[in-house]
Amino acid sequence: MDKELAGTAAAAAARQERFGHLPERIRFEDMTEGASTGRSGTEPGAYHPEGSWKYYSCLALDLGL
């Protein structure tokens, strides 16, 4: 019976050591990333309102409904 209590106490101590504290706080500055953008309209994937209908995909339109 004493071995069970010793094993249980050891397991509880191991859990407390592993899970007994909160993780380190992450600063907001470390969570965000800045990215520079190119000039509008010069990139290949830039939004072009007049030509955007060419790339619109809709099953109803594909089936002619």
Per residue of the chain (65 residues), what is the pLDDT tens digit?
567 778 899 999 999 999 988 888 999 888 888 777 666 555 666 676 776 666 666 777 777 77
Cα separation, 62 vs 64, whole angstroms = 5
What pLDDT, on a 0 to 100 scale, did the predictor assign at position 23? 84
- Give the pLDDT confidence score for residue 56 in this predicted structure: 62
Residue 56's closest CA among 19, 13, 48, 10? 48
